[in-house]
Structure 1
Amino acid sequence: MVASFVFRLPLVLLVAQLAASATVSRTPAKRSYDSHDYYVLQLDARASATPDECANELGVELVEQVGELAHHYLVRVPSSSFDSPDVSSSPSKRSNGQISSSSPASDAIVERFHALRSFPSTSSHSPEARSPSSPSRSHERRRRISKSLRSLERQVPRQRTKKRAPIPERSDGTSVWDDPRAPVPPGSKSQVIAQELGIVDPIFNDQWHLANNQYPRYDLNVSGVWAQGVTGKGVITAVVDDGLDVNSDDLNANFWLEGSWDFNDHTNLPLPRLSDDQHGTRCCGEIAAVKNDVCGVGVAYESKISGIRILSGPISDADEAAALNYGFNTTSIYSCSWGPPDDGRSMEAPNILIRKAVLNGVNHGRGGKGSIFVFASGNGAGSGDQCNFDGYTNSIYSVTVAAVDHAGMHPYYSEACAANLIVAYSSGGGNRIYTTDVGKNKCTSGHGGTSAAAPLGTGTIALALQVRPELTWRDVQHIVLRSAQIINPDDPDWEKTASGRLYSYKYGYGALDAWTLVELARTWPLVKKQAWIEMPQVEIPGSAIDALGVMTGGEFIGPNGVESKVEVTEEIMKSHNFENLEHITVQVWISHHKRGDVEVEIESPSGIKSILGGARRFDTATTGYPGWKFMSVKHWGENPVGTWTLRVKDQQVPNVNGSFLGWTFNLWGECIDDSKAKLYVLPEDMPESNGEDHPPPLTVSFTTTESATSTGTATMKLKPTNGLPDDHDLAQGDNKNPAFPNQSTSTAPPSSPSHTVAPDEGYFDHIGDLLNSSTWLIVALVLTAIFASAAGLFFWRRRAQRLASSGAGSGGDDMAMGIVDDSSHRLLGGGPRGPGRRRAAGELYDALGEVSDDDEEENEYADARMYEDEEERRAREAEHPGLRYHDEFLEDDTPDSAAVSPRMGTYRDDVGRSAGAGASASTSELPPREKQAQGGGAKSTTTATGTLLDVEGTSTGSGGSGDSWEHASADVGR
């Protein structure tokens, strides 16, 4: 395969790219983990000793610098004769000068490192210093080396994980790709676009994410951008995955060798060599498939694409760190569709070396404008997973992309959380993503999951960078969220934030729209540099964490949960050169017998609540939250001055409890004065003090993953298909249910009884609350009295009816009873009950009186017709049957009358607003920067041809399908 590629790629181009690669990118040395043990040695930035001196003193071989990380060096020694134990899940020591968790206690290199680190503490008056065997020159050299050493971390290769969508398979060996596809009607959206732009790619009509013929409003709205010549020219994207098939006719012309590397097989061609190495090629096709006659087109079909292969075998943290910075001077975007297992029980963050690489990318990549990292939110929502338990997706440096399907619905697999920035299109509701596959001219119809949504976000950002290459990584996040389009506006998950924008845990700030994004990018005023505020750490008295990370003490989490508050003042803002809020991060220390029972939320001074972590039913870990960091983008643009309240609660299960030990709160945003701004440095890289280091009790960094099934392979990044449900492409989407149904909303009034409970449960849903109150006895007595009265009245009416039927009894009595009953009917509804009339609240009296449905139906007409003969009465009843109690209750729950609607609160949209009104209101409340650069939320407005304008702007949205997943939201305009 390699030879085939070399002959097909023009020789001049190949030589030029190889030369550029040699001068611009550091070519990683080949690893030999089978025969050598590898370590990452960090030297102090002020080190006077050279890397070679330090390596020689440690007795290790210096291999190379770790990627683009300054002062970090990969060293190695031949493997020990004994097998080193796997300690990857043991707690990590994070005080300065200590090794990481991955170093065996018996490691001779580790012992040597400790000995060298402790050397400066030897007194100059000690016997060793005065000994003739300690010459002054040797002593000085060892002292310099000792002061130069910062940390040592042993490298243990681990398998990173893909999150791709499986190809649908059948028992006869065929796939959905073999099925004949329905012909596309002439004049359809995709055909008109193809004709106008000269697209002849055979599966373009199937690429609904680019041109949706069935639901025209639900695609990337990209054709008008293409018509302007914006196709990603000059922008390079790296897909960090399982390889890129450079032999594909759909990708070869756009392949960028300089930014490519295979960290699994240590070659410069990241070819897919394993049978399941397909996901990376498919993602590359979504982004940059060439406009030709092979398969389909990419979103940015004239951009360049690199492959960085890391998911096809075990790699170390040093390899992953190098991969995320590889070629970062020329590569603009890193598309990452992988992460921790989406099983609803894992909680994993990247280790310190990888966090350093990501920070290095945003600080120094693209000539200081910052690398752009795009991550898929995850496919584990069906297992109760949430993307805030993934340290890649909840990073402030990530553009986190969730999924919606071809009808604009939320797929049940797409993870929700406060870190979701936006949604893009992917599988669900009977459809999938059509794109390039591994092979010379192969295509696939089986791509899906959030790992297919993220590359669409990547390609769209590439279009924006073509027209505005000076955008920084934070500018990109700004324009992405500000150009997002609200879909399913009646979904109760939407909430109006303090900035005036809508936010949803499921949809982020809305659906990606290429036209609006590019138009906004053209005129967007660049943000000032980043500023941040690290609020003082809050520690509950009596809390403690030992050297092994075991948490004790803290405040017990009782029935009312635990609250803790911090105050942000104007003075704090000014002293930190802080002007506008973007992200917030919250790090918590919580001990608990079942981590999945814990719920964490924070409320801003404006009353906006961010659910940071909801309950996860499958997470049975007993390790709690030993310093886990959550992130929220929901408070973007909000004034942070005032009191922020953190709330922690659990499910109050007997003997399954925990305690809250403390938390830290950080704010990230835009500075006041650019001239005073500085780059953020991780605490681990801060200069060491000369005095003795005493880290505070709650600064233990969380660096390992604990789960119910943790066996020491906790930091594995699974294949992108891992955890994606088999029915990801077929399951019906949703736009009626909030992501966290049991959580209160921001500044919402007390909730009323739900309209969606089962008929026999609605009125007794809170009986447990009555039992906890002393008023329940009074209520019970009153209900008993009502019951007795109702029973007496019932027998009185039955007796009067029987007397009337037999012609006996006092007519006066019977008439008086009839008058009373008829009057009650008029008070409740203005006339006798008939079909379609709803029962008023007072009519619950009948149910409490235990009147049977049949008797009630008969008695209503008996009172009004007591002097008619029995046959006539029955005949009239047959013509006008009455509603029964449970029938009416069910009627109240019909979609027209009782569908769940957004809860009304200070920051909620009006329930009945139209899509257009909502869009207008949202625009009117935008801050000055956004009004200045707003690109508009409509479909393409000015294109090269009028025909394209008609296709994008005048489609009716009727899909021609009557399937159950066609919701009314499909008719809501952008």
Structure 2
Amino acid sequence: MTDQTPANSAPGTQGAAMPESSISRVLQRGGEELLLEKVDDRFTLNAINKAAIAGLIQPLPADVSPTRIPAKLTEIVVDPAQRDTVMQQLRDDDAVNYTSHVYQLKDDPASRLYLTNQLTVQFATTVTAETIAQITGAVGLRQVKPIAGVPNTFVFEATASAQENPLKIANRLMQRSEVLTAEPNIIVRTQSHYRPRDPIYPKQWHLNHNGGADLAPNSHVSAEKAWDITRGIRSVTIAIMDDSVDLTHPDFQGIGKIVAPRDFKENDFLPLPGDPDDNHGTACGGVATAEENGIGAIGVAPGCALMPIRTTGFLDDQTIEDLFGWAVAKGASVISCSWGPASVYFPLSLRQRAALTQAATNGRRGKGCVIVFAAGNANRPTNGTVNESGWPNNALSGDTAWLGGFTVHPDVITVAASTSLNKKAAYSNWGAEVSVCAPSNNAPPGIGLQDLGYVFTPPQVRGALPGLGIVTTDRVGAAGYAPDNIAIDFGGTSSACPLVAGVAALVLSANPDLTAAEVKQLLQQTADKIVDSNPDPQFGFRKGTYEAGGRCDWFGYGKVNAAKAVQAAVQRQAMAAIAPSRQLQQQNTTSVAIPDNDSQGVTSTIQMTEAGTVRSIQVSVAIDHSFLGDLEISLTSPSDQIILLQSRLLGRSTRLQTTYTLQTTALLRRFLNQPAQGRWQLRVVDAAEGDIGTLNSWTLTLGV
């Protein structure tokens, strides 16, 4: 694999729809094309023997960076003027497999993207294995494995015969009609979603309280009433994916408490803290499931088991597959992730999306793992644009697009943070993707970026930020957030996330038959509608009141309520035995043009006139479009509940004639037990420019 550009196009390409100057500057990612820039003072090296790298570098005007990168990569720091010369010298050494530039997103100079030798390619379903072998072999690729759940999609590895790196190969493959998607596997560092403040010692008010200083009525999650029904059962396991978990902590002891521990950073089975800052996961684990033992903190689901998984600290495709694959294989019920990419804008790759989808649909023996992600602490949109100014080193400036990647995945429960006063936490990210919020501390917004470290996001927040912190487990001894075994001011959406994960575990303890989508639905339907009419301390806007559909950008569907959610889970179990007694079916055959590159899309309506409660549902859709990969299809119920039927994964196909059922589309379960009567709306959005099409018809079939 090399970064050199050949004189001619790579073998097997057809034409040059992308300018040659863009081949090395565009990253194919999540259906988007992201512009890249090369970082001028560093590159990466993959050597046959990593131990010999110091000897390779010693005679050169370069240094080995202390940054630890997965995929057997070593970061080399060099004078910008000599970067390419040093890279070429190393490429010519037989001990070196390949070198690669380090990249940054064009509008996010604080980001760092490391290129591996892998890429993912999705072929049209009509392309044969022989043709795939010819196309990929011509550009020096070797097939590694198929991607589960995505037809005709494979991971490939660049071999020594490859004349270009996977970034360029992916762009050339995208010019072929046989290829729907081609994405290089890149590595990006994670950032944790919390920075602790000065210690105080409040009680665990977030679980339950009866009022007091800085405590608004009902700003807790009503854990005590939920515990009257269940405190969690050991067969329900919460996976905490984080920097480590101190397994020696007294609050993680007990028969059957720890299940399938895994350390992907050190590649062993003891995910213990190794670095001075490895404190985060221990605190998160305690919020979710610290044991009830009378000697320390207690988690919201103390009876559930804990699966501690130490991450590598980076987010390449293989790492995400490994993390979620382990959790699924070892029986995780709920997966809690209080981290995100150290980049302001980063869509998930096809492999990463598929890994989450597989976990959310195939985990728990087909019922799906409940996946919970922290929204983030920058006080920025989960998916949107902000006119930035005032950043250190002018790291961000002007209209800047923000995208969390994991937090916008349709199968994820994205969690924002509220305070002990039932207001928005100043740092909490917000947007249409937020599902619910949960109690946490209050603090200025900030973000961790690779070169800058943790910085407070501008403009500066002035004035007091009232609210109490979260008491939870801490590393044993002097290490950690506090000098004893208890963290007394934990917070951020990092704390809100495992709190919701713990409530989800209580829900599954009460009703293990629920699917992951049903758990998400229950948490949203039973959430408390807290209101914050105050202006945002940074931007002045107000997003703390609810729309007609029952959600708002700051709190999603509201603050999670453990008691109501568990009670609803028990009721759902009683209703599950009721089978549909009759079938309602309506069709809309009016053909409607789908506007090109229009976020509003087109909406088609079916009016169900008969009353009943939905027990089963299926949706049949017929669409012709010159590039179906541009389309997103959603369905809205009479109660204004919206689900995504189809994301932008259809690639270059031109005809869609399919039926979405409870078996194929788990999100449809959100409509179960809702009223059938009223207006149902199918919405089709073309999210990219250049192709047009028509919604020909759709049919809605309800069992009531």
1:568 aligned to which of 593, 598, 604: 604
Residue 399 of structure 2 aligns with which residue? Answer: none
- Which amino acid in structure 1 is aligned with residue 191 of structure 2? K
Q: How many residues align?
A: 482
> What does 1:205-284 correspond to in 2, within 5 Å?
206-212=203-209, 213-214=211-212, 215=215, 216-253=217-254, 259-284=260-285
Distance 1:398 1:73 in 2: 24
Secondary structure, aligned partner of 1:570: strand
**2:471 is the counterpart of 1:434:** yes
Distance in 1 between the 2:309 and 2:592 partners? 40
Q: State the one-letter code of the partner of 1:470.
A: D
* Range with greater deviation from structure 2 (453-462 or 332-341): 332-341
Secondary structure at the counterpart of residue 408 of structure 2: coil
| C-alpha contact 2:158 2:166 (8 A) present in aligned 1 | no
What SS does the aligned partner of 1:250 have?
helix
SS in structure 2 of the partner of residue 327 of structure 1: helix
1:395 to 409, 423, 426: 409
Instruction: Say whether 1:503 aligns with 2:547.
Output: no
* Equivalent residue, structure 2, for 1:93: 174
Sort the Cα spacing of 1:315 and 1:403 in 2 relative to 1 into closer, same or farther, 3 A. closer
- The alpha-carbon deviation at position 465 of structure 1 amounts to 0.5
CA shift at 1:276, angstroms? Answer: 2.4
Give yes or no for the alignment of 1:486 onto 2:529.
Answer: yes
1:391-438 deviation line (CA, Å, top 9, x unaligned): 322222111211100111112221222222211011112422121123
Deviation at 1:96, TM superposition (A): 6.1
From 428, 439, 459, the equivalent of 1:414 is: 428
Which of the residues 355, 366, 369 maps onto 1:368?
Answer: 366
CA 305–603 in structure 1, closer or farther in 2 if over 3 Å, else same: closer
Aligned equivalents of 1:404, 1:665: Cα separation in 2 = 43
1:446, distance to aligned residue in structure 2 (A): 3.6
For residues 797-819 of structure 1, give each alpha carbon's deviation from its aligned partner in whole angstroms, at most 9, with x where no partner exists: xxxxxxxxxxxxxxxxxxxxxxx
1:244–1:577 distance in 2 versus 1, CA, 3 Å: same
CA offset at residue 230 of structure 1? 2.5
- Residues 312, 319 of structure 2: 8 Å contact kept: no
Instruction: Determine whether 1:155 maps to 2:185.
Output: yes
CA distance in 2, matches of 1:462, 1:229: 10
- 1: distance between equivalents of 2:507 and 2:154? 36
Larger deviation, residues 322-331 vs 252-261: 252-261
User: In 2, distance between residues paired with 1:607 and 1:335?
Assistant: 29
Change in 2 beyond 3 A, CA 1:569/1:284: same
TM (normalized to structure 2)? 0.56
Return the offset for 1:39: 4.9
The CA deviation at 1:65 is: 6.9
CA, structure 1 residues 256+90, in 2 after alignment: closer, same or farther (shift >3 Å)? farther
Match of 2:340 in 1: 339
Q: In the alignment, is the contact (CA less than 8 A) between 1:537 and 1:662 conserved in 2?
A: no
Q: Residue 159 of structure 1 contacts residue 311 of structure 1 at CA under 8 Å; is this kept in 2?
A: no
Distance 1:265 1:49, change over 3 A: farther
Corresponding position: 1:538 with 2:594: yes
Q: Equivalences for 1:105-116 in 2 at 5 Å? A: none
- What is the aligned partner in structure 1 of residue 195 from structure 2? 166
Distance 1:521 1:92, change over 3 A: farther
Q: How does 1:667-686 map to 2 (within 5 A)?
A: 672=701
> 2: distance between equivalents of 1:495 and 1:380?
21
SS of 2:406 mapped into structure 1: coil
Matched-pair contact (CA < 8 Å) for 1:416–1:505: yes
Q: Which amino acid aligns with 1:160?
A: R
Three-state SS of the structure 2 residue aligned to 1:297 is coil
Shift, 1:476, TM fit: 0.7
Contact 2:124 2:180 in 1 (8 A): no
Q: 1:399–1:243: structure 2 CA closer, same or farther, 3 Å change rule?
A: same
Specify the code of the residue in structure 1 equivalent to 2:298.
V
Instruction: Give the 3 Å change call, closer, same or farther, for CA 457–82 of structure 1 in structure 2.
Output: same
Secondary structure at the residue paired with 1:322?
helix
Q: Secondary structure at the match of 2:251?
A: coil
TM-fit CA distance, 1:484: 0.9
CA distance in 1 between partners of 2:603 and 2:229 (Å): 49
The 3-state SS of whatever aligns with 2:250 is coil
Deviations 1:688-742 (A, max 9, x none): xxxxxxxxxxxxxxxxxxxxxxxxxxxxxxxxxxxxxxxxxxxxxxxxxxxxxxx
State the alpha-carbon separation in 1 of the partners of residues 640 and 230 from structure 2. 42
Q: Using the TM superposition, give the Cα deviation of residue 31 of structure 1 relative to its aligned residue in structure 2, in angstroms.
A: 5.3
Partner of 1:513: 561
Pick aligned residue for 1:460 from 498, 503, 507: 503
Of the three residues 562, 567, 570, the one matched with 1:522 is 570
- Residues in 2 aligned to 1:262 and 1:335: alpha-carbon distance in whole angstroms: 16
- Quick one: structure 1 residues 477 and 83, their matched pair in 2 at CA, closer, same or farther if it must change by over 3 Å? same
Q: Tell me the TM-score normalised to structure 1 length.
A: 0.42
Q: What is aligned with 2:348?
A: 350
Q: Distance in 2 between matches of 1:60 and 1:588?
A: 25
What are the ranges of 5 or more consecutive residues in structure 1 without an aligned counterpart? 1-29, 102-152, 169-175, 182-204, 544-561, 580-586, 591-601, 613-631, 649-658, 675-928, 930-974
1-side partners of 2:72 and 2:411: how far apart? 32
2:29 aligned residue: none
Distance 2:229 2:637 in 1: 44
SS at match of 2:192: coil
1:483 is displaced (CA, Å) by 1.1
SS in 2 for 1:381: coil
Query: Which structure dedicates a bigger proportion of its chain to helix?
Result: 1
Distance in 1, Cα, partners of 2:694 & 2:256: 43
Comparing 86-95 with 443-452, greater Cα deviation is found at 86-95
Given the alignment, which residue of 468, 472, 496 partners 2:515?
472
Q: CA deviation at 1:373?
A: 1.0
SS in 2 for 1:357: helix
User: Alpha-carbon deviations, 1:114-149, whole Å to 9, x = none?
Assistant: xxxxxxxxxxxxxxxxxxxxxxxxxxxxxxxxxxxx
Amino acid at match of 2:203: D
Deviation at 1:267, TM superposition (A): 2.3
Instruction: Quote the Cα distance in structure 2 between the aligned partners of 1:154 and 1:382.
Output: 28
Structure 2 stretches lacking a partner, 5+ long:
1-69, 75-96, 99-116, 386-401, 443-465, 478-483, 535-541, 611-616, 621-627, 645-666
Task: Name the SS for the 2:191 alignment partner.
Answer: coil
- With over 3 angstroms needed to count, the CA separation of the structure-2 counterparts of 1:608 and 1:407, relative to structure 1, is same
Say if 1:351 and 1:301 are closer, same or farther in 2 by CA, change over 3 A.
same
Q: Distance in 1 between matches of 2:421 and 2:172?
A: 46
- Which amino acid counterpart does residue 310 of structure 2 have in structure 1? R
Find the structure with the greater CA-based Rg. Answer: 1
Q: CA–CA distance in 2 between the matches of 1:391 and 1:378? A: 11
Alpha-carbon distance, 1:467 to partner: 1.1
State the Cα distance separating 1:244 from its structure 2 match.
2.0
1:300 — aligned with what?
Answer: 301
Q: CA-to-partner distance for each residue in 1:504-560, whole Å, 9 max, x for gaps?
A: 22122211111111111001145999x999x977344xx8xxxxxxxxxxxxxxxxx
Identity of aligned residues (%): 22
Q: Greater strand share, 1 or 2? A: 2
Which residue does the alignment assign to 2:357? 359
Q: Read off the aligned partner of 1:437 and give its amino acid letter.
A: D
Counterpart of 2:604, as a letter, is V
Contact 1:254 1:304 in 2 (8 A): no
Offset at residue 263 of structure 1 (A): 2.9
CA contact (8 A) 2:418 2:437 kept: yes
